[in-house]
Chains A and B, each alone.
Chain A
């Protein structure tokens, strides 16, 4: 063939037909191993400790004590909950990166109910009202961009992004209003004496309830996405709006419904954070997990059970890196560096699952 590629590289990228699941997992596993090796090198360069010792420290970050284990489980559950909320929207190809704001507004609604009704209403009712308020607030935060998307095709990525800061500033506003003691800039523990609106602890495990809720929502989202009519509709809308119209699915309705669900689960997460574990509200309560959740959901390909693994991976690494950092008197942000190295490798490796590189024989 006298036909040569113009760029002189002679390499051509072709989409793979199909790849068996074990091969795909193999590629991901390999990427994970390489990324851990890179993390080890980085850690070694900064601490000069033997990689094995570092590994041990990382492991201890999550498993050194029962307390640490439960803290890790709590963080894992929260991250998982937000990721689960993202999944249906992403399956529908709706880029909701407003998880942070949807969680924060849920926190705010919960805190508002606890503060305002804590003294006047019975505990159970406070919890119920807080829950409803948080879920509704999160739902509204999801609803607004969805309605605009459905009606005017407003760019949802930018919209949900902006909504994050509206929510955070609202929290900041109310934190100053509610601050106690005055002038501290903090809300402090809400209803510290009465525990009004606090979720009950199961036995002696403070975080168990969050874990149970996360597990229940995992199962729920799995069923919702795979077995429910709604889940089927949103998958069709995500794949092809033309097909959706062809079979008589109302695209706008599905977008709005899915985003409300997405926001509502974020609101629930906010409720769990304030009523369940922290009993206070700060502007950093979500601490970027709304964004990390996007990565968790993406890396698991929106599979709820896959997300358990990816959120465990990220929480585990972050706890471990935090442990390394504190052992060596380094900044705790060390964990962000290590987790993002792993994320870079895991999102990069998807290329090798989707495509393969062949030597070019013929220009098309």
Chain B
């Protein structure tokens, strides 16, 4: 239904002040914030391209978009973390320049980030007053009383004297929100607030947000969960690849329409996809459950099979458990329950749960893993190319000394084969560009002749040509009979590269689809949990 022009239906970039909101103009609504023609670039990447949005008092606005669509960047400009390259910001009708979070707060704008900025050993009260310069007397009791007042007004559940290290994630989030309210913010931005919450906690948060809305506050939620958009917000603004796509009234739209706008058109990429041959199960995962340190379940009862000679794509919005899934297979994750069976050439099954990378290696399982955190985990930024190649091979051979010849030759080979742009083999990898860093990492992981190749966001931040090189490499591995897992964020790529696509949603498998038959919208819906999952 999206083929052909879709812009006719949705208002693109509302340029004039009064017309903002397009067909849904309501003369009584007062915009608390108007952003006009905002553009922000980071190097060559355009994060926001001429975006204009309005935020109204007493309403909840959802900012919807895929990963990397520029939602957070846009809001960071409103909260003073970034400064726009061009464009104007109006607060309550008056143009303002926002240079710092302090400026933003003095205008009544408060943002709750995904990573909380709290001091662990301090109480909620102490964290809330941190950096404030109010009054002469420093009296934490009065502050605590005022915090209780705010809590009872909006229905927060918070003990002002509790230490942050004793708090659950949801309590920490509450502290952050109350901190903003204590600073008299009436424009509140929440960056993916529900990503870390259980359903019950989400419900509680939404109740509080509704109370705040009744109080006349303007609230913006950055999210990519459609059900929540529908449940909580009055309006939804949709961004895609840094561009404003449209603004919808949630009461007049549905998940299908939003998904279409969010994922955009299907784009033909011309990625090769050879037919899989000789497909047989390599890794069988059943009932895998992972719970993180905070007690939040990251994976719940995940079961599927990874086949050799096939590329298994894994789709899902970020933080749906992709990282935990791959790290579980690689032996880096503490596993609560479930089993991961690896089938050897002979067909014999070995259990990978309870192992670590060292034991996996000793078991003779040749497993390669391209992690998401390239320089923090996959490579050592301060070491040169040869040194990084050695990470996998330094144990080779007997004796006390490392053999630098093999990794040196390998580095040379990778540089030539993948045309890595580097001044030389003795350049520390942190000096290479993102794409070249990725080539080095993927090149090394493939070089160890794996039987299983796990990749997380292998083409993130890469230019088109480098991306195709990586796709090509993965296809070659697949043809060699390797079981390839490709965790990706670009649905177009997943749909044209993967043989099967596993969709994760909130740590659960919401569906496994055939990569050749599934449509983008189908996968998009599964990602936002409206598809198969309960």
Q: How far is the CB of B123 from chain A (nearest CB, A)?
A: 24
Q: How far is the CB of B503 from chain A (nearest CB, A)?
A: 27
CB interface residues, A 244-263, toward B, < 8 Å: 245-250
Q: Does A350 contact B (CB under 8 A)?
A: no
Q: Say whether, besides A227-B401, A243-B376, A246-B332, A236 and B99 are in contact (CB < 8 Å).
A: no
Which residue in B378, B400, B404 is a CB contact (below 8 Å) of A243?
B378
Q: Does A193 contact B (CB under 8 A)?
A: no
Q: Does B140 contact A (CB under 8 A)?
A: no
Interface of B, secondary structure class, is loop
User: How many angstroms between the C-alpha atoms of A249 and B359 in the bound complex?
Assistant: 11
Q: How far is the CB of A250 from chain B (nearest CB, A)?
A: 7
The residues of B that contact A359 with a CB separation of less than 8 Å are: none
User: How many angstroms between the C-alpha atoms of A246 and B395 in the bound complex?
Assistant: 14
Contact A245 B381 (CB under 8 A): no
User: How many angstroms between the C-alpha atoms of A245 and B360 in the bound complex?
Assistant: 12
Contact A18 B395 (CB under 8 A): no
Contact B99 A229 (CB under 8 A): no
CB interface residues, B 171-188, toward A, < 8 Å: none
Q: Does B377 contact A (CB under 8 A)?
A: yes
Contact B377 A246 (CB under 8 A): yes
Q: How far is the CB of A18 from chain B (nearest CB, A)?
A: 6
Minimal Cβ-Cβ distance residue in B for A233: B394
Minimal Cβ-Cβ distance residue in A for B395: A229
Q: How far is the CB of B396 from chain A (nearest CB, A)?
A: 10
Which residue in A6, A227, A233, A248 is a CB contact (below 8 Å) of B360?
A248
Minimal Cβ-Cβ distance residue in B for A246: B377
CB interface residues, B 292-307, toward A, < 8 Å: none
Q: Say whether, besides A236-B380, A239-B380, A247 and B391 are in contact (CB < 8 Å).
A: yes
User: How many angstroms between the C-alpha atoms of A154 and B458 in the bound complex?
Assistant: 37
The residues of A that contact B376 with a CB separation of less than 8 Å are: 240, 242-243
Q: How far is the CB of B17 from chain A (nearest CB, A)?
A: 22
Which residue in A3, A18, A230, A243 is a CB contact (below 8 Å) of B391?
A243
Q: Does A97 contact B (CB under 8 A)?
A: no
Q: How far is the CB of B77 from chain A (nearest CB, A)?
A: 12
User: How many angstroms between the C-alpha atoms of A242 and B400 in the bound complex?
Assistant: 24
Q: Does B467 contact A (CB under 8 A)?
A: no
User: How many angstroms between the C-alpha atoms of A364 and B84 in the bound complex?
Assistant: 10
Contact B400 A230 (CB under 8 A): yes
Minimal Cβ-Cβ distance residue in B for A245: B332
Q: How far is the CB of A81 from chain B (nearest CB, A)?
A: 21
The residues of B that contact A245 with a CB separation of less than 8 Å are: 332, 356-357
The residues of A that contact B427 with a CB separation of less than 8 Å are: 18
Contact B100 A243 (CB under 8 A): no
Q: Does B97 contact A (CB under 8 A)?
A: yes
Q: How far is the CB of A364 from chain B (nearest CB, A)?
A: 8
Binary CB contact string for chain A from 221 to 240 against chain B (1 if under 8 A, 0 otherwise): 00100011110110110011
User: How many angstroms between the C-alpha atoms of A236 and B360 in the bound complex?
Assistant: 20
> B residues within 8 Å of A by Cβ?
82-83, 97, 99-100, 330, 332, 356-361, 369, 371, 373, 376-383, 387, 390-392, 394-395, 400-402, 404, 427, 431
17 residue pairs A–B, Cβ–Cβ below 8 Å: A2-B97, A3-B83, A227-B401, A228-B400, A229-B394, A229-B402, A230-B400, A236-B391, A240-B376, A242-B376, A243-B378, A243-B379, A245-B356, A246-B357, A247-B391, A247-B392, A248-B356
Beyond the given A229-B400, A246-B332, A250-B358, could you list 18 further A-B residue pairs with CB under 8 A, ordered by the A residue number? A2-B97, A18-B427, A223-B401, A227-B401, A227-B404, A232-B390, A232-B394, A236-B380, A236-B383, A242-B373, A246-B357, A248-B356, A248-B358, A248-B359, A248-B360, A248-B361, A363-B83, A363-B99
| 10 interchain residue pairs of minimum CB distance | A248-B357, A248-B358, A239-B380, A242-B377, A247-B391, A246-B377, A227-B401, A232-B394, A228-B400, A3-B83
> A residues within 8 Å of B by Cβ?
2-3, 6, 17-18, 223, 227-230, 232-233, 235-236, 239-240, 242-243, 245-250, 362-364
